[in-house]
Amino acid sequence: MNRRTFLKSLSLLTLPYLGVLGSQKSKIDFKHGVASGDPTNTHIILWTRVTPSKPSIGQLNVEYQVSKDVNFTNIVSIGTLKADIGRDFTVKVDVDLSKHQPGTNFFYRFKCEDSLSPVGQTKTLPLKNLKHFKIAVFSCSNYPAGYFNAYKDAAKDKSIDLVLHLGDYLYEYKMGDYATENAENLSRVPIPFSELKSLSDYRIRHAQYKSDLDAQLLHASFPMIPIWDDHEVANNSYKTGAQNHQENEGFFLSRKRNALKAYFEWMPVRDIERFGSFYKNFKIGDLVNLQVLESRLSSREKQISYDDFIDKDAGLNKEKFLKELNKERELIGQNQLDKVRKNTSNKYTWNVIAQQVLLSKLKLPDLPEIILENIPAGYEYFRTIIKDDLPYNLDSWDGYPNERRKLLSYLKNKGQILFLAGDSHNCWAGNIKDDQDHFIGVEFGAPSVTSPGTSEATGELFPIKILENMVVNKNDDLVWTNLLNRGYVTIDFTREIAKTRFIGLSQVKTKNYSREVLKEFIVEKNKEII
């Protein structure tokens, strides 16, 4: 890393006790924009972070204002919050807007001393007489991997009502690790430069992501419902550990506590008392019943690994592996399963189950030798699982088949189900069926905002379109995939259909990009997609 890049990155450090340069015209700056989230019919979370120009250990009074007009001549809610170092000078308020019609648009801003924040726009969820509602879905936004063009593109679409972020909002890796090879050229070197472990580490990384102007634009344009995946803590995390956490890095539970404290400080979400209660249910009239699951940190048991069942001489012990795979192991846990069973109902036109990892069963096709010869270190088992016709991603629901069977049994005959997932970095569309081949619902997997997908892994070794066709042909219930583009998904719900569009972007390594609709699906109630 050169000196100029180092100094530029260092200037983004925003913890108050490190001494941040603020505006010369004011003692306070709003460097990280504003955000709203977790809307209900009557309430919504408003968030910002104040940056003092000098180190401060005292409290700052921050006023929030909510108005029905952008000029704030009709303020409908106002109050004062306390910002201090205990919450990294972030503030949140759960504003009561119950006196106003559900589904009303509002503008909001914050004031601290003589400084005003940018203005954000938000809305509560509608309650009745709802003809349509549009959601945009994002996942896997890796700052050093590229520009957040997907955020900017979606912010231009004023027909969007709500944003759903299904995890990996940020990444924990140090400079030189995963997806940082272009970071210097893009002036997006991750800070701190080390891997995230301490509370201050996670806070600084959150601050860097919130310093991105396209992220600020998205947050200021729509309310967001986010849920973490693994990288908000550490790669392939589970309840008591993670693949990217070693014994010499301290206690994992301390690291998880640090990560989640920073998450709740920096994200526009309601605070919770315990991890297991992070399940959320949002009622969008009787049109959409949105359930957001937590599949990482509250109940998930450790993933099993093919490496534990492969002998370099004897190969895979398939019988032993399948026995272990089919044991009773938790991914979301019985507490959330019971909530899904209770809250899914055919009184809603659409029951939407949003979570982090793919529910679809996915296996690899017979990959060409040129790809197998160039598989990155750690993926040598691909040869074995292709030969033995086994699932390739045990970090997804494929690694927890018993609990998947239980989930699908709870959803059978409960109306139209639509599943949404992130995590994989690629686009997916398929039909979800139980082991008796009974259709349960449709699943859409969102592409990444910037994180590398399959096309980056294979490079020019093999034509990506041919590989996509091979993957679809291998998996009976998979209808379509795109392994090339970064982007996002929009779903416009009506009484009759859910119009789903996969929006692909031509580029994330430059801010100049073009967009296209990669694929559109018209989902009809209780019908498979084709």
| Average pLDDT per consecutive 10 residues, the chain (530 residues; last block may be shorter) | 47 38 61 98 98 82 98 98 96 98 98 97 94 97 98 98 98 98 98 98 98 98 98 98 96 97 97 73 97 96 95 90 97 96 96 98 94 84 94 97 98 95 98 96 98 91 95 98 98 98 98 98 96
pLDDT of residue 499: 98
Find how far residue 332's CA is from the centre of its chain: 16
Same domain as 416, residue 298: yes
Same domain as 403, residue 261: yes
Q: Is residue 530 part of a domain?
A: no
Distances 2 to 8, 9, 179, 522 between C-alpha atoms, Å: 10, 11, 19, 50
Q: Please check whether residue 299 is in contact with residue 276, taking contact to mean a CB–CB distance below 8 angstroms.
A: yes
Q: Is residue 101 part of a domain?
A: yes
Same domain as 406, residue 388: yes
Q: Please check whether residue 351 is in contact with residue 415, taking contact to mean a CB–CB distance below 8 angstroms.
A: yes
pLDDT of residue 54: 79
Domain housing 309: 125-524
pLDDT of residue 273: 64
Same domain as 255, residue 210: yes
Instruction: Tell me which residue of 133, 138, 217, 134 sits closest to 488, measured CA to CA.
Output: 138
* Residue 473 burial (C-beta neighbours within 10 Å; 0-12, 13-18, 19+): exposed
Q: Is residue 529 part of a domain?
A: no
Same domain as 62, residue 158: no
Q: Structurally, how many domains does the chain consist of? A: 2
Instruction: Tell me which residue of 530, 501, 529 sits closest to 516, measured CA to CA.
Output: 501
Same domain as 157, residue 60: no
pLDDT of residue 191: 98
Q: Which of 98, 124, 150 is the last residue of a domain?
A: 124
Question: What is the Cα–Cα distance from 488 to 506, expressed in whole angstroms?
Answer: 12
pLDDT of residue 118: 98
Rg (CA), the chain: 23
Q: Is residue 453 part of a domain?
A: yes
Q: In this structure, what CATH number is given to the domain that contains residue 334? A: 3.60.21.70
Q: Which of 88, 104, 124 is the last residue of a domain?
A: 124
pLDDT of residue 7: 43
pLDDT of residue 3: 42
The pTM assigned to this predicted structure is 0.94
Q: Is residue 278 part of a domain?
A: yes
Same domain as 467, residue 401: yes
3-state secondary structure of 98: coil
Q: Which of 83, 101, 124 is the last residue of a domain?
A: 124
Instruction: Tell me which residue of 144, 234, 259, 141 sits closest to 190, measured CA to CA.
Output: 144
Q: In this structure, what CATH number is given to the domain that contains residue 90? A: 2.60.40.380
Same domain as 231, residue 364: yes
Q: Is residue 335 part of a domain?
A: yes
Same domain as 163, residue 114: no
Q: Which helix (H) or strand (E) holds 520?
A: strand 515-524
pLDDT of residue 437: 95
pLDDT of residue 53: 83
Same domain as 158, residue 12: no
- Where do the DSSP E strands lie in 286-336? 288-292, 310-311, 315-316
Q: Count the neighbouring beta carbons within 10 Å of the beta carbon of residue 323.
A: 11
Cis peptide bond prior to 226, omega within 30° of 0: no
Question: Which residues, other chains included, contact 222 with Cβ-Cβ below 8 Å and sequence gap of 6+?
Answer: 36, 121, 122, 136, 155, 160, 161, 162, 163
Same domain as 183, residue 105: no
Same domain as 172, residue 42: no
